[in-house]
Structure 1
Amino acid sequence: MTRASSSSHGPSRRGFLTGSAAAAGAVAGAVGGATVARATEPTATTDTTGVNGSRTTAFHGVHQAGITSSPGAHGTFVAFDLVEGSTREDLTRLMRLWTDDARRLMTGAGALADTEPELASAPAGLTITVGWGRAAAVLAGGEDQVPSWLGPLPAFSIDALEDRWSDGDVLVMIHSDDPTTVSHATRMIVKDATSLATERWRQTGFRQAYGSHPSGTTMRNLFGQVDGTTNPPVAADDFATRVWITDGWLAGGTSLVLRRIRMNMATWDEADRVGRENAVGRTLDTGAPLTGTKEHDEPDFDAVNERGFPIISDVAHIRRARPDDPSQRIVRLGYNYDEPARGGDDAEVGLLFGSLQADVDAQYVPIQERLAEADLLNVWTTPVGSAVFAILPGCDEDGFLGDTLLA
């Protein structure tokens, strides 16, 4: 566990303008010899075409929301450190508070004692998902209940990790198609953690807006690449075997690796299109592998060109990220970020790369080891943040998040 308006005298500008308009109208009426009628105000109309605000996501269930639901266009990840001296009872209280918040907010209702409930009225698919770091799991159940994979990742040669984007005792993911909804829900979550936990970091990202593309379209990162092509449909057996933990107190939960990957846009701009596509192993316009014509075509890693060289390089990102062992496959959850420069630094642009899997050591780590060893995209990317969390199972109407270990 880590330690954690002044008043103005005289006529106002609005009064001056309205007064002048009234005077001008009086003069015009006098000159015209007739009374000037007040113009009829246009009738307000509401166009509900494509309105998404009332869409809700179920909170209760075997799994938490935010894993199987479509990712919202806007996402905020907030990590907290439990205050020094926290007890198991303190953690239970925090989980009960956040469970109640999520139940209410995801239906479009304000949180308990919400002073701005109107900001919660358009959930737009809001999901609130809670996870634990190692310290919280130890506090809840002791060392013998902590999965071996729950803790910092091994050090990778490409990492330049910063504390301000790494680790944490507990995590809350807040996703919605409406950024105002995300902002309000985040504020409620942070307020209810007061005296129990302190905010360690907050990372906010975005995807394509609702309605910009047909449902099911793969998102693009800020390099212009499709990102998440190999994710299976949620209903597929492959999704279940990749993601869900099936035994112990985490049954129905999963794990999340969140990596903050900074992109060097300036040097990416210097690469021509052929170089970019060779680095990725996919065409940028359609997202198809260089050996195919459509995004979801299976890449042919054995195919060679007329000179006998591989069409998809052995160090192309698509090749290094693809496990030969199907049991190592993960599900990706990505959000772009674009933030102002700090001081003399370049702008903070990159990808919040989320990896969902049942076992971090067995699935994620082997992939990341291959990427660190040889991946052409490493020329333009640097991981600067890293955290691992156990995403808790869902709960029923009488329970609360974390009750499989705390109750």
Structure 2
Amino acid sequence: MTTRRQFFGYAGAAAAGAAVSGGAVVALDNDKPQQQAVARLISPYGEHQPGIAAPSPRHAELVGLKLLPGTDKAALGRLMRLWSNDIVALANGRPAPGDTAPELAVANVALTTTVGFGPRVFELTGNKPAGLDDLPVMKHDRLDPAWSGGDLLVMVGADDAVSVVDAVRRLVADAKPSATPLWRQSGFWNGTGSEGQPVTGRNLFGQVDGTGNPAVGTPDFDSTVWSSDGPDWFRGGTTLVVRRIRMNLDTWDKLTRSEQERAVGRKLSNGAPLTGTAEHDELDLEARDTDGRLVIAENSHARLSHHSENDGRRIFRKGLNYVQDNGPNRESGLIFLSHQADVAGQFLPLLARLDAADALNEWTTTIGSAVFALPPGFQPGGWLAQKLLG
């Protein structure tokens, strides 16, 4: 039973150069030119959990947890109050009460914490968002239980890896009476260009990854990501699909550059479609080369995932590269993160289409899969999922 915690106030973290919905910037790195100023702090409070709309962090850890026998709705509510206190303190660079290494909590590292609920939670609480079920196993999946499922998710991201480790340790310790870790995944991302400007970032295939996302703060983004119907507690929340994708870099490296680009449908140099010159140019899906072949191939990833080929369906995708050493062997891949208001209506049709025909299936294998409902954010004096668990 929880015996500690007073609600700590204020502060947070932000990603480089990005305005995050619901996050108030409170500090800047002023030793950079003004156009390259880096926002470092975001309030942990807001209509939405701030880590969702933020760019992929430089360092992150995701922990899937399993509820312990005997954990009920009341216990889950206590945990969410406790975690909300932790989130506020850690975002402001303050140690969570009871931290045995308080010096590791530092400010100005763009630290955000995102919390989600797996499908089984709603056996305790009711009010499950529509379509929130474990994903079906796809033809190309080779799922490992060590990377799949989970009743709770906590994801911490920051500019500093030590801050991530410290925050996760505290959050997992506070969950101990109610839940235990089922899996842990750590990853990294570089969303900053050589001159300090925000960029889309690249996966380990060298692809610019995430170009087709709706822009944060636009009507397209809001309608894609935030739930506006369903259970009242979930309005302003979203869903998250986590897919651990192993990438075969050795066989990918044997391809010529043109073969790699044809599989992707975009140029590796800058992420531009093969029919364009700049990253955000529109795809010309009708263009053909001098031999009459479609320039953007029918099985290319860019074509199959484009919203115009999927009845307008969109997702907000983010990624984290990972490497895992197993003795002398190294596994490399992508922790794929997809946000959408409705998993069944938006993500599943796209996933089925990619599983059936995506050229990249030859060099990628999904080995982990999980789905979560992410509640909306909270305000001072409130706590996560208060409408569901209060």
Which TM-score bucket, shorter chain as reference? 0.7 to 0.9
8 Å Cα contact 2:233/2:387 also seen in 1: yes
Unaligned runs of 5+ in 1: 1-46
Of 354, 368, 375, the residue aligned with 1:371 is 354
Of 272, 277, 298, the residue aligned with 2:282 is 298
Say how many residue pairs are matched.
Answer: 356
Give, in whole Å, the separation in 2 of the partners of 1:180 and 1:354.
22
1:347 aligns to what SS in structure 2? Answer: strand
Partner of 1:353: 336
Partner of 2:180: 198
Determine if the alignment matches structure 1 residue 400 to structure 2 residue 383: yes
Partner of 1:171: 153
Partner of 1:253: 237
Please give the per-residue CA displacement for 1:325-350, whole angstroms capped at 9, x wherever unaligned: 4641000110000110357xx42100
Give, in whole Å, the separation in 2 of the partners of 1:210 and 1:365.
31
Letter in 2 for 1:350: G
1:285 aligns to what SS in structure 2? Answer: coil
Of 68, 74, 90, the residue aligned with 1:83 is 68
Give, in whole Å, the separation in 2 of the partners of 1:300 and 1:48.
42
Determine if the alignment matches structure 1 residue 125 to structure 2 residue 110: yes
2:51 aligns to what SS in structure 1? Answer: coil
Give, in whole Å, the separation in 2 of the partners of 1:209 and 1:239.
19
Partner of 1:242: 224
Q: How does 1:282-321 map to 2 (within 5 A)?
A: 282-321=266-305
Give, in whole Å, the separation in 1 of the partners of 2:140 and 2:316.
22
Per-residue deviation, 1:73: 0.7
Per-residue deviation, 1:138: 2.5
Question: Which TM-score applies when normalising by structure 2?
Answer: 0.87
Distance 1:172 1:52, change over 3 A: farther
8 Å Cα contact 2:56/2:320 also seen in 1: no
Q: Which of structure 1's runs of 4+ aligned residues deviate more than 4 A?
A: 47-54, 209-213
Give, in whole Å, the separation in 2 of the partners of 1:294 and 1:281.
13
Give, in whole Å, the separation in 2 of the partners of 1:236 and 1:54.
20
Q: How does 1:1-20 map to 2 (within 5 A)?
A: none
Distance 1:164 1:342, change over 3 A: farther
Question: Which TM-score applies when normalising by structure 1?
Answer: 0.84
Distance 1:339 1:124, change over 3 A: same
Q: Which moved more, 1:264-273 or 1:210-219?
A: 210-219
Unaligned runs of 5+ in 2: 1-28
Identity over the aligned pairs, expressed in percent? 46
Per-residue deviation, 1:308: 1.0
Q: Which moved more, 1:310-319 or 1:51-60?
A: 51-60
Per-residue deviation, 1:235: 1.5
Per-residue deviation, 1:122: 3.1
Determine if the alignment matches structure 1 residue 184 to structure 2 residue 166: yes
Partner of 1:279: 263
Give, in whole Å, the separation in 2 of the partners of 1:271 and 1:201.
34
Q: Which moved more, 1:190-199 or 1:145-154?
A: 145-154
Partner of 1:138: 123
Give, in whole Å, the separation in 2 of the partners of 1:208 and 1:68.
16
Give, in whole Å, the separation in 2 of the partners of 1:49 and 1:180.
24
Partner of 1:390: 373
